[in-house]
Amino acid sequence: MKPGDRYYPKTTEQKLGYLVEECGEVLAAAGKTQRWGFSSVNPELPPEQQETNRDWLLRELQDLKGAIALIETMLLSPPDVSSAVLPPAPPPLTFSQRNRKRCESALGFNHQLGSWTLSDWLTATVGEIGEAANIIKKLNRYRDGIPGNKLSERELKERLAEELGDTAVYLDLICQAAGLDFDTVREAAFQRKSAEIGYKE
């Protein structure tokens, strides 16, 4: 059997089945040869199909070698994982989950969320807001033409982005410390104020 033949085995199951089938054929030929000898032929076959047990056994051995080679090639080839059923990837962590993990991890801040009271977290949050307010004060100097800034306006805006980002991180942590979800709290506040002023999206 050669590649391209109609019944050439393609899948692993087909290749193993082919090997088992050829092993059976060799056993049948070997058994008949053992019983009747190499030069004997099967008298039940038409004359044009008759062959000695020697030729029959040789033919089946060649087919078995082909089946063995097919299996060896399959076993020595890199595994095909294209059709393998892989477990689904875990969903990515939310920002709040990542934020708390970094806060409490020994590789992060190593600071357990519950080791601070809500007032401690609020103090830290207000500290970040204060730093942002100080930068805005300096930006106002550029707006009003007042000298005294050591940083450029662009540099101050970059610092402002950092401080506002730090504030958002602390707001998320204080919400988690209070048993609240920051995204839910934020969305609820937005919807509540929208309803209050009659705003519709």
78-98: average pLDDT? 82
166-173: average pLDDT? 97
70, 124: one domain: no
Return the pLDDT at 80.
Answer: 65
Structure tokens that stand for 17 in this block: 């089945």
- Residue 197: pLDDT over 90: yes
Residue 173 maps to which CATH number? 1.10.287
Q: Which residues pair with 52 in a beta bridge?
A: 41
Q: Is residue 86 part of a domain?
A: no
Return the pLDDT at 84.
Answer: 65
CB atoms inside a 10 Å sphere around CB 26: 19
29-55: average pLDDT? 89
90-115: average pLDDT? 95
Domain stop point among 48, 76, 104: 76
Q: Is residue 84 part of a domain?
A: no
Q: Which residues pair with 41 in a beta bridge?
A: 52
Q: pLDDT grade, residue 45 (50/70/90)? A: confident
- pLDDT tens profile 130-150: 999 999 999 999 999 999 999
> Largest alpha-carbon pair distance within the chain?
117
Q: Is residue 90 part of a domain?
A: no
Structure tokens that stand for 181 in this block: 């979800």
Rounded to whole angstroms, what are the CA distances from 27 to 42, 152, 180? 16, 90, 74
The parent domain of residue 64 ranges over 12-76
- Residue 43: pLDDT over 90: no
Mean pLDDT for the chain? 91
Lowest-pLDDT range of 72-81, 99-108, 140-149: 72-81
- pLDDT tens profile 4-23: 677 788 888 988 998 999 99
- Residue 127: pLDDT over 80: yes
106-135: average pLDDT? 96
Q: Could you tell me if 41 and 55 are in contact, meaning their C-beta atoms sit under 8 angstroms apart?
A: no
Return the pLDDT at 82.
Answer: 62
- Residue 85: pLDDT over 80: no
33, 106: one domain: no
Q: Is residue 62 part of a domain?
A: yes
Return the pLDDT at 49.
Answer: 86
Return the pLDDT at 42.
Answer: 87
Rounded to whole angstroms, what are the CA distances from 103 to 97, 131, 151, 160, 193? 10, 21, 31, 22, 32
Question: Total domain count for the chain?
Answer: 2
100, 184: one domain: yes
